[in-house]
Structure 1
């Protein structure tokens, strides 16, 4: 039988697991001996360390004797190490214990405790812990300790703590400023320097600055400045003053006490460059406030700054120039700097020191803004050349400032000529390509200020400056885009520049800008009109209208009304396209190409030679001189060989020239003859009305004569145009080639010829291949011979049906001419009105 415990399944007793031989069994330590607790601070176990720190914190709070006991047992160095412990609880109690020990009256305890707090305050977390556990109050009280080590440790800790805004506010409320100012008279330089660093930080806040002056802080500062043995403190003192002078009330206060005058005297008389530099920077920072600027101006700060410009130290001069830049916000200060300030600043525009160069350029830019007298002063001191050279500086601030000054100077015409003579338009191309938006903006303004001169536009165009200028129209920066539009507007004053801008896409970019409510500006809208004013082709393509002031010149072309968002090609781009089904491009061009001109010249030479031979005279010509030179002293074989070589070279040269020569619009010899014909026969007519009617008959006669509206479908003008396209192997048809033309052909020819002989007329594009010309005429005087001051009336010239008939613009006949297709449908309003009017006229006859 099995044992009982096996039968009933009795649970076997589990064997106790034995601990490893190399570990110590758990031991609970309870001790009331302070020496034992101090020894526990060296334990590697966190639990023991935590219990020891907590017990030690409670022990120190019981009285000063306990704090002294811990000091004598060497607890502070051990607690200091535990401040950086990873465990937050250990860190917390170690910090609190040292903070409590700092309040002990024993100097040794205070010294060690403040030393620990000073080292702890470097760490951000410890810094917050010290403040939250109330450590700032004891530290402020220890500033008045008789022991210099305690003072040094306390001020060092406070200097770290007040980096936080909340701590600075608490320090001011505790009136910590008073013992802090007292430390300025310490005999220990390290304490003085730590005090000034603390004051520099404290003076960043308005409340602290006010507290400094309420406690006579400026007197303490000036005493230090007046002491020649404390020159090592002058720099820090001036930084504190610079912060304090940002308060207008403080400036007024020290002015009333006479301290401001003493301060400015120190600026000019100090023999310490570092102190003078910081004094100038203090003025610059203070002068950013308009009230302070007025006070400083009244105290004659300009003379002090001009004096600093004469010091042989680049850092001081740069600081003085910076202060001058700020003071220039006040118009009275600008005037004060004219006599001596500009005279000293201009020679430093090209200094080897970049910092000085930058400060001076900014100062000169501010001095010349809205001040014509200072502009003349800069010009008189030979400032144009260094300013133009500064446009290629590697420092963007210098480039932007120089560009600003040049823009200011260009307001004077005689100075603008000088700027252009120094190659400013060539120099500005590089800034236009800059990646800095400020430089781009200022460079565009330079172009706008100089491009009003035709020489300036030509120089910019030849230097390749139009391309980067057009690219700036794409900028996302509003100011850059606005100034670029302004520059394009000014550049669009002559035809060559306008054509180049349009070729680069300026017109398309401007139209895109104008379509956006957030990107368009006043300059962009006017710039489009300006570009179109000098490009009649684009104006007619886009607007469908040319006024009497828009003259059609050689090279004008009309491809018809474009579709929405359709790219507008140039005439050269159209010439590269093959024949297609689109309507032809009508060309106006009476300008002879180079080849034709050369052929005419060659023919003239031949005629001259023939006439000379017939008359027996020896008239030199290009042909005869070439023949003579080739016949002297040469054999026949050499002549043939040389001719062969010359022919080969001429052939190669001709091919290269043909390949590289620019494209030219085809010369329309017929249209050219039209101009001569109307100049002889129509221009001499006595009245404008007679000229208009006669020109209408001339145009109609050249384009196939009058055509009845009802017979327009039998006027096969489309076939004629198709034949011309096939004959010319091009979509471009010179207007003189067309012998069967309808409304838009005739209207274009009429406008082109009228412009040549001075007849004012407009060209308007309509629908359904319609276009017409409008003229302004004054009615003839009445029968009584009295001329009435009647304004001119607008008429449409009939070139198709009743040729030469002048139709009142608002009449039914005019509407019929512009719209009706001659359908004679009973529901057609135009036909019904015209039919009724004709019947009415016939009945009255």
Structure 2
């Protein structure tokens, strides 16, 4: 490549003549637009630091030079992550942010905003500079097209385009709740809602996108949007619903996304307008169809009624076709414009959402005959597809019937187990969460996972630096020993060790503490032999110290799980009961928690009393135990609970009072297993 003319253009940037500089910048601009090879050449010729200098010395540099320099920087930024890294390295972001001030030429503002839009498109770009000084204020101001005082129609269109750029930058700077808060406090909501009524589709789309990102995982902000009034006095809900009916597929998609993420109310509108619109968009081509399943998944993920509505709207067959045919270039669904991998990933996520809460959704997915394709997707080159396939399997595994038949027949165990060693932590985490459901009380799958080395792998993941992965690993181990034979419990603890479990019970993460206590609860469940193994593994004194230390915690889930552990130990023999009875502080805590405001805690505390007061043979030792409970005030406390407002508590009170009375037939001791499923919507036992 003859680079002499390009080297000359770079050298001319050092000229003191503004006209020479502008000519050189236009030459560079014309050669690098859409040409990665030329961009790489100019980066090697160190053009970027020269461009940045024009902004740092803005008082002595012609505005036309700065405008052209901003355009060139923007073109470089559109060249990919490596180029953005190079731009950031030379400290170009701060000077570009200085350029969006209203004090500057509107053409410079637009060029700088375009460059910032390209820079912030890169996910690794640092967004912190935008929240320093007055830059965020300037950005919010630009959302109002009148801020630039347009005099002509052409200037008006240019100012609206600048507002569009500002909205896009905002959408890309909402990564954290703190960033959302800062942008909202700067006045973004009314400015963005007003931009929705500007009449220019690209600006409206950008405003919708910004609102959607501002309210992502933030229902408080969704409510704030609903209450924001536009300059036309129309409500944001009405404006969005009108845009959902727009003739442009892109507008309909972005309006539906904003409606889904920003506003949690008006469910009739969602069912009657938003959901059918998204399902119809699955028939579009290119990027719109690619994104529609993702928005659909977000909309219905935690809503059983909307999942049923999605089933009724024939969404499952369409999504299933994407999963089975998208890689086939001869297929009707091959789209050279769109991203096939992303479409398959989003389709799998939508199917996971549809089947997450209802058996009807799971049945439709099975009837679509795509489970073999879901299993195959676990070995896909794209980590996003692998994670989505895991999520889909996780939803389907909530049905025991599907787990026993379709998933096992499709050979789910081996590819799922391999994903525990995936190069992506996200994939490992989702695979581990899926495994939680597969190792419950379905013996063949549990045995298969163990034979593949599942115990060793899960114990390895317990020590991961990623807290979510650690949580899922201990959760899976807890489920593995749920209602398990003694040999399985012993096999797990041989690898995990009781010392590690004790450390996890004192972990910095409360969720991990809870699941470690759940594991202890399941280990000490069902058989006296199992309780004895726990006593041997930890020793009586260490076990009781763990229990006593955790009983003083404020966290209700921790309290509940510790009480379950005590309850299961109290179902053991006289030695096991005595270990509890010999700890006065433990007994005092139990007595206190009998009056807890949480009825679940009162129920468990009552079960502990029932098991501690149980006298199978009315031996001298059991009578001494019951007498000690009386002396500590347990019988009086139970009597005071006869009118408890919770039915389960009242039933347990009757049983306990019978056992405190002489000559009555005692209730059988009851040990209680811990929560079974990894899924947050599962019933806790």
TM-score bucket (shorter structure): 0.5 to 0.7
CA distance, structure 1, for counterparts of residue 53 and residue 468 of structure 2: 56
CA distance, structure 1, for counterparts of residue 210 and residue 531 of structure 2: 61
Please state if 1:504 is matched with 2:495: yes
CA distance, structure 1, for counterparts of residue 616 and residue 302 of structure 2: 55
Q: Which residue of 1 aligns with 2:656?
A: none
Aligned pairs for 1:96-495 within 5 A = 115-119=64-68, 136-137=102-103, 139=105, 155-156=110-111, 166=134, 169-170=137-138, 177-178=145-146, 186=154, 196-197=164-165, 200-201=168-169, 207=187, 210-211=190-191, 213-214=193-194, 217-221=195-199, 224-225=200-201, 238-243=205-210, 247-249=225-227, 259-266=239-246, 269-270=247-248, 276-277=249-250, 279-281=252-254, 283-291=256-264, 294=267, 297=270, 300-311=273-284, 313=285, 315-329=287-301, 331=303, 332-339=305-312, 340-350=314-324, 351-352=326-327, 353-418=340-405, 419-451=407-439, 452-492=441-481, 493-495=484-486
CA contact (8 A) 2:190 2:229 kept: no
CA distance, structure 2, for counterparts of residue 458 and residue 185 of structure 1: 73
State the Cα distance separating 1:333 from its structure 2 match.
3.0
CA contact (8 A) 2:228 2:236 kept: no
State the Cα distance separating 1:390 from its structure 2 match.
3.0
CA distance, structure 1, for counterparts of residue 190 and residue 399 of structure 2: 48
Q: Do the aligned partners of residues 505 and 536 (structure 1) sit closer, same or farther apart at CA in structure 2, a change above 3 Å counting?
A: farther
Q: Do the aligned partners of residues 308 and 543 (structure 1) sit closer, same or farther apart at CA in structure 2, a change above 3 Å counting?
A: same
Aligned pairs for 1:607-622 within 5 A = none
CA distance, structure 2, for counterparts of residue 167 and residue 526 of structure 1: 50
Q: Do the aligned partners of residues 475 and 259 (structure 1) sit closer, same or farther apart at CA in structure 2, a change above 3 Å counting?
A: closer
Q: Do the aligned partners of residues 318 and 85 (structure 1) sit closer, same or farther apart at CA in structure 2, a change above 3 Å counting?
A: closer
Any idea what SS the aligned residue of 2:619 has?
strand
Aligned pairs for 1:539-618 within 5 A = 540=532, 543=535
State the Cα distance separating 1:378 from its structure 2 match.
2.5
CA distance, structure 1, for counterparts of residue 381 and residue 370 of structure 2: 19
State the Cα distance separating 1:212 from its structure 2 match.
5.9
State the Cα distance separating 1:453 from its structure 2 match.
0.9
CA distance, structure 1, for counterparts of residue 274 and residue 366 of structure 2: 25
Q: Do the aligned partners of residues 176 and 321 (structure 1) sit closer, same or farther apart at CA in structure 2, a change above 3 Å counting?
A: closer
TM-score with structure 2 setting the length:
0.52
Aligned residues: 448
State the Cα distance separating 1:239 from its structure 2 match.
2.8
CA distance, structure 1, for counterparts of residue 476 and residue 413 of structure 2: 12
Any idea what SS the aligned residue of 1:392 has?
coil
Any idea what SS the aligned residue of 2:105 has?
helix
CA distance, structure 1, for counterparts of residue 299 and residue 354 of structure 2: 9
CA distance, structure 2, for counterparts of residue 498 and residue 89 of structure 1: 67
CA contact (8 A) 2:196 2:207 kept: no
State the Cα distance separating 1:85 from its structure 2 match.
11
Q: Do the aligned partners of residues 496 and 249 (structure 1) sit closer, same or farther apart at CA in structure 2, a change above 3 Å counting?
A: same
Q: Do the aligned partners of residues 400 and 211 (structure 1) sit closer, same or farther apart at CA in structure 2, a change above 3 Å counting?
A: closer
The structure having more radius of gyration, on CA atoms, is: 1
CA contact (8 A) 1:121 1:161 kept: no
Aligned pairs for 1:616-655 within 5 A = none
State the Cα distance separating 1:394 from its structure 2 match.
3.7
Any idea what SS the aligned residue of 1:504 has?
helix
Please state if 1:794 is matched with 2:619: yes
Q: Do the aligned partners of residues 202 and 118 (structure 1) sit closer, same or farther apart at CA in structure 2, a change above 3 Å counting?
A: farther
Structure 1, unmatched stretches of 5+, are 1-41, 50-74, 99-113, 141-151, 226-233, 271-275, 546-560, 566-759, 767-788, 797-806, 811-845
Q: Do the aligned partners of residues 506 and 314 (structure 1) sit closer, same or farther apart at CA in structure 2, a change above 3 Å counting?
A: farther
CA distance, structure 1, for counterparts of residue 381 and residue 321 of structure 2: 19
CA distance, structure 1, for counterparts of residue 357 and residue 393 of structure 2: 13
CA contact (8 A) 1:474 1:509 kept: no
State the Cα distance separating 1:255 from its structure 2 match.
5.8
Q: Which residue of 2 aligns with 1:56?
A: none
CA distance, structure 2, for counterparts of residue 175 and residue 192 of structure 1: 8
CA contact (8 A) 1:118 1:153 kept: yes
Higher RCO structure (Cα 8 Å, ≥6 apart): 2
CA contact (8 A) 1:400 1:438 kept: yes
State the Cα distance separating 1:301 from its structure 2 match.
1.1
Q: Which residue of 2 aligns with 1:577?
A: none
CA distance, structure 1, for counterparts of residue 139 and residue 401 of structure 2: 62
State the Cα distance separating 1:317 from its structure 2 match.
2.2
CA distance, structure 2, for counterparts of residue 346 and residue 365 of structure 1: 11
State the Cα distance separating 1:465 from its structure 2 match.
2.6
CA distance, structure 1, for counterparts of residue 244 and residue 272 of structure 2: 9
State the Cα distance separating 1:157 from its structure 2 match.
6.4
Q: Do the aligned partners of residues 178 and 209 (structure 1) sit closer, same or farther apart at CA in structure 2, a change above 3 Å counting?
A: farther
State the Cα distance separating 1:307 from its structure 2 match.
0.6
State the Cα distance separating 1:527 from its structure 2 match.
2.8
Any idea what SS the aligned residue of 1:382 has?
coil
* Structure 1 residues 99-133: Cα deviation after superposition (integer angstroms, max 9, x where no partner): xxxxxxxxxxxxxxx534524667667667778xx
Structure 2, unmatched stretches of 5+, are 1-11, 26-49, 72-91, 118-128, 174-182, 215-224, 328-339, 544-571, 579-613, 626-685
* Structure 1 residues 412-471: Cα deviation after superposition (integer angstroms, max 9, x where no partner): 221121222222222221122235444334333333322211111222223333321232
CA contact (8 A) 1:161 1:167 kept: no
Please state if 1:94 is matched with 2:60: yes
State the Cα distance separating 1:344 from its structure 2 match.
1.8
Q: Do the aligned partners of residues 317 and 487 (structure 1) sit closer, same or farther apart at CA in structure 2, a change above 3 Å counting?
A: same
State the Cα distance separating 1:326 from its structure 2 match.
1.8
Any idea what SS the aligned residue of 1:521 has?
helix
Q: Which residue of 2 aligns with 1:527?
A: 519
CA distance, structure 1, for counterparts of residue 376 and residue 268 of structure 2: 37
CA distance, structure 2, for counterparts of residue 155 and residue 283 of structure 1: 28
CA contact (8 A) 1:181 1:220 kept: no
Q: Do the aligned partners of residues 337 and 503 (structure 1) sit closer, same or farther apart at CA in structure 2, a change above 3 Å counting?
A: same
State the Cα distance separating 1:302 from its structure 2 match.
0.9
CA distance, structure 2, for counterparts of residue 197 and residue 175 of structure 1: 9
Q: Indicate the larger mover: 327-336 or 205-214.
A: 205-214
Any idea what SS the aligned residue of 2:261 has?
coil
Q: Which has the higher helix share?
A: 2
CA distance, structure 1, for counterparts of residue 421 and residue 152 of structure 2: 54
CA contact (8 A) 1:139 1:158 kept: no
Q: Do the aligned partners of residues 298 and 76 (structure 1) sit closer, same or farther apart at CA in structure 2, a change above 3 Å counting?
A: same
State the Cα distance separating 1:305 from its structure 2 match.
0.8
